[in-house]
Amino acid sequence: MHIEFISDSENLCEQFTKLCEQYECFEWAVAWASDPEQDEFSIGGTLLQYRKKIKRLVVGCHFYQTSPEFIKIFINSKQVKFLTQTDGTFHPKVYLFYNRDGKWAAIVGSSNFTCAGFTKNSEANILLTENKDNHVRDAISSYISKQWKNADSFNEKDLKKYKEAYMKKKSLRDKLESRDSRFFIKQNRIHSNHSTAKKEDSNRTHLVIEKIKDTSWDKYEKELQEDKKRFESGIKQLKEAHRLFSKGSFNKLTDDERKCLAGTIGENTKEAIKEIDEIDWWMFGTIKQGALKTHIINNNKKINDALEAIPLKGNITKTMYLKYLNKLRSIDGLKVGPAVCSRLLAMKRPDFFVSLNKQSKPVISEMYGIPKSRLTADTYWDLIMEIHKDDWYLHPKNTEAKPYRMALMDCLIREWK
């Protein structure tokens, strides 16, 4: 077997084109695919030129990264299917080429079938060629066959729905791309057997997405109140948080009150708040970072200054958010991730912000097509603006849940004990 390491895009495109020309059959499994007709994506044109050689092509649609134009071109092809739901992210980049006489070749590595994957990104791939031993070829073909069985064809209705979601995510993706063009998603390890817990998590994620994404206010509120105890507990905590913030400056609150709002409260702490035994302050996430706990106990004035940038009512602008974020980042030793900055915001303005915690972050990532690694304090504002486009947020009715509707997303997302 001949093995060649390919690390530059020019060599990758050259080798890929040769394989498309030389071999009779293609079997591929890729996470994402670009519009093959765009001018700068020459390899896309190569695929279209040799499309009759496709035997099985599986393309993933996670995070709405695959172009609707690619789906449209192959929507009637019996040799191309699309994978929208898996246990975890569908993330392979496997290209198998073979002849009926047994000769074969494969490219396996990091390059998706995208313009960036073949031209702009820093990618690494292995080219395998073999004339005799078919053991590896059979293993690759078997893997692609397994993915093929889990994949589906698109119809016009599916494409329309996908394209609408794709365009909604495009503006947010563009903003994220402009912040860090060097971003890469680390390839997930592929396990032959997924645990029951992982399957349950995946199924639950999709159920939660159906309850929240692009739904109406009536449906959203109905889902919130399905678990009445959880809904009432959430409302009660958010009302109490509003009462505390309404008392005045954050640094004028008691130590225990500040800890409750920041989510740094310990289970054995004796709270000064009279209602503490009736309020689950561990809802909406907890913060375990020692530095924040210390600064809350020491009543660091910079935390108060940060929160002063966010009004208790009225409109909130990006400038206000950035002022809040920069004030937090000026605190010595404090690591300001999305959990730290969003917890306090969700407590002060539950009508505007949602907490990004350990349990909610993966679901929101999937829901709005943003890789978890990109959900940072820097991109949090763009996420909020994306959520604010949903119908349930734009057109709420004047009910008890309205002033808390963003923070209450957490009630549908998180596992409650």
Q: Which of 100-109, 184-193, 206-215 has the highest mean pLDDT?
A: 100-109
Q: Locate 351 and state its tokens.
A: 């009508």
**Highest mean predicted confidence (pLDDT) among 184-188, 263-267, 381-385:** 381-385
d(CA 30, CA 40): 20
**Among positive and negative, which fits the CA dihedral 230, 232, 233, 234?**
positive
| Domain residue ranges in the chain | 2-179, 196-413
Among the listed residues 402, 390, 90, the one whose alpha carbon sits nearest the alpha carbon of residue 211:
390
pLDDT, tens digit (0-9, with 9 covering 90-100), for 246-282: 998 999 999 889 998 998 876 555 444 444 546 777 7
In the block, tokens 């690759």 appear at: 140
More confident residue, 161 or 197: 161
Question: Which residue, among 261, 289, 12, has the nearest Cα to 127 in the 3D structure?
Answer: 12
| CATH architecture observed for domain 2-179 | 2-Layer Sandwich (3.30)
Look at residue 79 in the predicted model and tell me its pLDDT: 96
**Integer Cα distance of 154 and 160 in angstroms:** 10
DSSP string, 61-98: -GGG-S-HHHHHHTTT-TTEEEE---SS----EEEEEE
Q: Which long-range contacts (CB under 8 A, 24 or more apart) does 3-6 make?
A: 3/126, 3/127, 3/128, 4/126, 4/127, 4/129, 5/124, 5/125, 5/126, 5/127, 6/107, 6/109, 6/124, 6/125, 6/126, 6/127
Give the model confidence (pLDDT) of 45-104 as tens digits. Answer: 999 999 999 999 999 998 888 999 999 999 999 999 999 875 667 899 999 999 998 899
Q: At 188, is the pLDDT very low, low, confident or very high (cuts 50, 70, 90)?
A: very low
**Token pair for residue 43?**
């390899």
Distance CA 97, CA 140 (A): 11
DSSP lists the bridge partners of residue 93 as 30
Question: Within its chain, how far is the Cα of 269 from the centroid?
Answer: 35
Query: 4 pairs with which residues across the strands?
Result: 127
Considering the chain, what percentage of its residues have pLDDT values greater than 70?
Answer: 85
What's the pLDDT score for residue 104? 96
pLDDT digits over 5-29, tens only? 999 999 999 999 999 999 999 999 9
